[in-house]
Amino acid sequence: MTSLTLNNGISMPQQGLGVFQIPDAAECRQSVLSALETGYRLIDTAACYGNERAVGEAVKRSGLPREAVFLTSKVWIQDAGYEKTLASFEKTLDNLGTDYLDLYLIHMPYGDYHGSWRAMETLLQAGRVRAIGVCNFLPDRLVDLILTHSVVPAVNQIELHPFCQQQALRQVMAAYHIQPMAWAPFAEGQGNLFHHPVLSAIGQAHGKTPAQVVLRWLRQEGIVSIPKSVHPQRIRENWDIEDFTLSPGELTQIRALDQNRSWILDVPNLTEVYRLHNIPVSQ
């Protein structure tokens, strides 16, 4: 598996397993174990997913040394602010059964995220976390955060798939050497992605599925991806993208699928702001 170097010099695997919407502890543990056995070394969770403890148990059961697994988690909206973020971080470490995180992210650009960022800078300086970043920050709030603090986010985890490629946001991120990390790389199945004619035709040319084509496209675009699955066969299939390369023409075809809008999470939409503020922390 390829790795990328973040803007603070830390190496990060380019593909991992996401565990959003896997609330069942046993199912989550098995998914993480299947991924680690397959070769994945990046696991992405969050305080509001309610499965940090299951992730930590799976990492322990895998027998892998802690330093071999790149663990990412996130602070939720209700825990935004300096003191609340520090307390949430300690609970996350307890849940995961570790004494440090590889990457800690602000989950949403809502609430006192400036206070959260100050807390994360403190944790970074203390060596409690190896890198810090954000999720779902669009250009205005991302640049505001950068201009207000001393540490530039290492990562921005965003909705990113063939139908929502975030080109303008990625240009801003590139200017600050911020690594894009794609959540929902398969658009949660929307847009007929798993049977899309363009992705299917490219896949047939390489003996691959549309899902594998998407992950290979992200790989070649220099984007970290965290596809979620609870099926061992699909977890292995998602991993099996090393033996083919998309041509420049195929990359152009995929880039042409961009509709330049969110399909899943419209961050500035007031309905989403109200909805997300009302989701409790599950840890």
pLDDT for 280 equals 86
DSSP H stretches of helix in the chain: 25-38, 52-62, 82-96, 113-125, 139-148, 167-175, 197-206, 210-220, 232-239, 248-255, 270-277
Q: For residue range 39-70, what is the model confidence (pLDDT) as tens digits?
A: 999 999 999 999 999 999 999 999 999 999 99
Q: For residue range 201-227, what is the model confidence (pLDDT) as tens digits?
A: 999 999 999 999 999 999 999 999 999
Residue 222 placed within a domain: yes
Active-site residue, 82 included: no
Residue 109 placed within a domain: yes
Distance between CA atoms of 29 and 230, rounded to whole angstroms? 10
Residue 198: name the closest of 225, 162, 164 by CA. 162
Count of domains forming the chain: 1
pTM: 0.97
pLDDT for 1 equals 76
Q: Position of tokens 């991806």?
A: 225
Q: Which residues of 78-98 are buried (b: 16+ CB within 10 A; e: fewer)?
A: bbbbbebbbebbeebbebbeb
Which of the residues 49, 104, 110, 113 is marked catalytic?
A: 49
- Please provide the DSSP assignment of 193-218 as one string: GGG-HHHHHHHHHHT--HHHHHHHHH
Residue 265 placed within a domain: yes
Two structure tokens written together for 36 = 């680690």
Residue range(s) defining the domain that contains residue 170: 11-277
Average pLDDT estimate for 263-273: 96
**If you ran DSSP here, which 8-state letter would residue 263 be given?**
S
Residue 178 placed within a domain: yes
Residue 124 placed within a domain: yes
Residue 28 placed within a domain: yes
Query: For position 137, which CATH number holds?
Result: 3.20.20.100
Residue 110 placed within a domain: yes
Q: Which residue would you say has higher pLDDT here, 162 or 283?
A: 162
